[in-house]
Structures are given as C-alpha cells and as structure tokens.
Amino acid sequence: MTATEQQQQSSIADQILKMLYAPHKAFKEIMQSPKYMGPILILILFIAANIAFGYSLISKTYVEQTLPSGAQLDEWTENATKWTSSSGAYIAENFNDFMNGSYYGNRSIEFSMSNSSRITMELLNIGPINCLGSDGFKNVSVRIKLVSPLAEPELASIYMFSRSISSYFLYNLTDTLSNSTNTVWNNVTIPLANANWVNHNADWGNVTGLRLDLSWPQNSSIDVLVDGLFFRGNFKSPAETEAFSYLMNFSIVGLMQFAFEWLFLGGIIYILARTLGGKTTWRPVLISIGFVLIVLFVQTVINAIAISTLPNLYYPLELLGGVQGETAAAAAKITDITWLVSAITSYLRIVIYIWTVVLCTLATRVLNATSWAKSALISVVAFFATITLMSLLLGI
C-alpha cells in the first residue's frame, strides 16, 4: 500500500469519525473530495454489526424441539391408520372436534366403543425415540377429551414401549384426568425417565410406541378424542444447529437495508433539493447520505449489546403451537423478561430517526447552501418517504 493510499484511507476513517462528533466538518470535506470508499466501508461495518446482532439474538434463543416436528404438524394424531386398539375400539378421524392451532392440523383421532368398561389406544412402530441424556426428549404431551361416559375413569394409564409390547414403562394418569368434563380438552404433559414410571425391562433410549389405557367401574358407551401428541422438552438454539444460514440471512438483510435506504434517501433528497433550487450534483449527495448511514451501524451495535444482556429465552411448544390462550400466556412470559431491552430498542429507534433527519438536514444545507428551514423540510419529507417505501417493499 502506497503512502497516498494510506493517507486516503486515514482521511476516510477520519470523516467517518467526524460524522459522530463534527458532521459539519465531515460534510465539507466530503463535498471537496467525494469518494464512494467511505459509504462502502460503513456498509461493511453495518453488515458486520448486523451479523453480531444476529448471533447475539440466536445465541439467546432456545426453541423447544418436538417429535413430530412443527413442520410435520401433529402427524401421529392426523392419521387414524397409525393407531390400533387391543380392546377393539372403533378408530376414526374427527374433523369437527380438534385442537385449533398452527401445530395441530385439522382433525383429532376418535376412539369409541359401546357397552364396555375399558378402552385402549395404541401407537406403535414410531421409534426409536431417545428420551435419555441432554439430547433426549424430556416430556410427552397429549391432548385428551373424554366425551363419554360423563364419569371420570377409575383408572388411566400410559405405557411407553421399548422394542416390544412386553418391554414397557407404566405411568398412572388417573389423577391427571380427574375432574375432567366432556367439554374440555385435557392438556396432559408428563415428565419422562423419572421414578414415577414403573419399569418393565424397558430402555428410555429406545422408545418405540405407546398405549393409553382407560377403564371405568361399569360398562357404558365410551368415546375418547386424542390430539396433539408430541415428545418434547429438549431446547436447542439456532446457534447450535443453523448458525451459518441464520447469519447469512442477517448479512443479506443488512446489505439490502443499507442499499435501499442509501438509494431511496439519497435519491429523494437529490430530487427535492434540485426541485427547490439546489445546485449540487448526484455524486456528493449520494456519498454524503452514505456517510449519514453510520447511524445504522451505531444503532445495530447498541441493539446487539442490549440483546447480549438478556438471559436465555426459551420458546416452548405452547408459544409455537398457536393455541388461543396458551400462546398469549407463553408470549407474556417472554415479554416479562425482554420488556426493558424492547423499550431500549424502541426509544433508540426514535433517537436514530431524529439523528438521521438532523444529519440529512446538515448535509443538504452544506451541499446546496439552502436555508435551514428548506433543508429541514427536504430531509423530513425524504426520510419519511424512505421509511414508507422500505416498509412497503422490504417490510423493514
């Protein structure tokens, strides 16, 4: 690198710093020798800051993993052919009564029998499912609705099979289903691999099926609905599983945000200034506005620091599943944790808006020698036109 090139880079770095403490001087220097290298360097800094912000965000985010995954919906309770019944129950898909949510499809599985005191519901050959260790599932959830009889089950059990129906874990669900009514879906979530399960030669690292077993003291017409069966309880951060794709996305979004704001804001200011009698040319206007966007870098760095102060945020199935009431309650817990950071970022956005308008006003006045009032009017109109266009075109 020659001495001249070093001097030019040093000059550009000085101009970027002056945008923070002496923008009037910076704009005068830019007007004398406008170079695209300054905005390009700011763009690189902004993309780097956006990647840092993205990593801060995803490293604090832990999403509950489910089996089936959300992309598959609750596929085990969408298809009646996956189920059997050793008690001889009639099995069908019910399209009228089911859990309404983004993870829960559009049907439940209905099990019915006449003149019986016991009903079983078996889902086999679904494994092997690991329910041990840090990578294993910690809980199983299922929604159960006891349509009839109106009486509570005398005994309710869930079996977890391991390799065969002769090797299983047994858990007593009777208390969980007590006080049930025929109008309510019971949200049953059971911790796995603990002492509450009776082990009959089974292995939590190799779960291959399950059975629900309900019995009443006397014969009656039995009708039971089952929906939303998930193994769950294992939380993972996108930083562990999809860091590269997420960070690439943040870098692309940063590039698009900077490029569009630079072109829109610079172009509108140039057109308005020329319309109102300004004499400047396109190049110094565009380069000056590129320097103005150092505020985006400052905003993103502060946001990244604010996000890094948060504890780990856990997004459970109830938040992602889309069931009315459950989603709101889970979201409220996240809001309670993040309200201060959300407030900081909201107020910071207002400060950045004002700062951007002030710098654009100063740049317009220096470049066009227009009055303060005219420069401010141009900047305000250009800025709000820009954020409107970006909202419509990019959703930013």
Backbone angles phi, psi at 275, to 5 degrees: -65, -35
pTM of the model: 0.84
What is the tens place of the pLDDT at every residue in 54-67?
999 999 999 999 99
Q: What single-letter DSSP state applies at residue 280?
A: -
**pLDDT confidence of residue 148:** 93
Q: What single-letter DSSP state applies at residue 77?
A: G
**pLDDT confidence of residue 5:** 45
Distance CA 223, CA 149 (A): 7
Judged against a pLDDT cut of 90, whether residue 155 lies above it is answered with: yes
**pLDDT confidence of residue 241:** 84
Parse the chain into domains and list their residue ranges.
3-64+242-394, 68-234
Distance CA 224, CA 210 (A): 16
The percent of residues in the chain predicted with pLDDT above 70, rounded, is 97
Pick the CATH number of 68-234 from 2.130.10.10, 3.40.50.2000, 1.20.120.80, 2.60.120.260: 2.60.120.260
Q: CB neighbours (10 Å) of residue 358? A: 15
210 phi-psi bin (left φ>0, alpha ψ -120 to 50, beta other): beta
Judged against a pLDDT cut of 80, whether residue 110 lies above it is answered with: yes
Distance CA 326, CA 143 (A): 13
Secondary structure percentages of the chain, helix, strand, coil, to 5: 50, 25, 25
User: b/e for 321-340, b at 16 or more Cβ within 10 A?
Assistant: bebeebbeebeeeeeeebee
User: Which residue did the predictor score with more confidence, 248 or 369?
Assistant: 248
What is the tens place of the pLDDT at every residue in 337-393?
999 999 999 999 999 999 999 999 999 999 988 899 999 999 999 999 999 999 988
- Burial label for 124, CB within 10 Å (0-12, 13-18, 19+), is middle
Identity of the amino acid at 84: T
H or E element, residue 61: strand 61-67
What is the tens place of the pLDDT at every residue in 175-199?
988 777 778 899 999 999 999 999 9
Instruction: Confirm if 231 and 190 have CB atoms less than 8 A apart.
Output: no
